[in-house]
Structure 1
Amino acid sequence: MPTPLWRSPELRDHISRLDRSGFAVEFLRRNTTYRRDYARLQRRVGRRGVDSADECAAFSQRWGLCFCPCTR
């Protein structure tokens, strides 16, 4: 998301009402590195040649998540 949009009054109001985990979700969904890594995880798990539980655990640990995004 371009920087000026982060400064819009509407978004600033929305973000100010978020709790810590809500802010983290907003940050990650806008983070291109996270999105690229998540897409890579989906491809690897989709191939079924890897242990999806191990892949998800490594992904979660890398990003400091307390849930496995593969099971959602």
Structure 2
Amino acid sequence: MPTPPRRPRRAGPRPDTLGRAEFAASFLRRNRRYRTDHASMVHRIAEGAASEEAAQAALARRWGLSFRLFAG
């Protein structure tokens, strides 16, 4: 049985694949506990119960998030 012809490889990453950061963001967007925790953080900031920086740092610690600072 003949094999089908091979398609040439595309240059660069496939558009339908996610990098690590995109995969993590997609996971968190769908995670009910994260969404609840994030909404709670936003509510605490709005009420003045926590500073924005402190609340975001606490959320990042709980969920193991780290953010790169970009110069420019």
TM-score by length of 1: 0.66
Please identify which structure carries the higher helix content. 1
What's the C-alpha RMSD, in Å, of the aligned pairs?
A: 1.6
Where in structure 2 are there 5+ consecutive unaligned residues?
1-14, 68-72
1:3-41 CA distance string (max 9 Å, x none): xxxxxxxxxx94xx0001110011000000000000000
Matched residues, number = 53
TM-score by length of 2: 0.66
Q: Which runs of 4+ in 1 moved over 3 A?
A: none
Where in structure 1 are there 5+ consecutive unaligned residues?
1-12, 68-72
% identical aligned pairs = 40
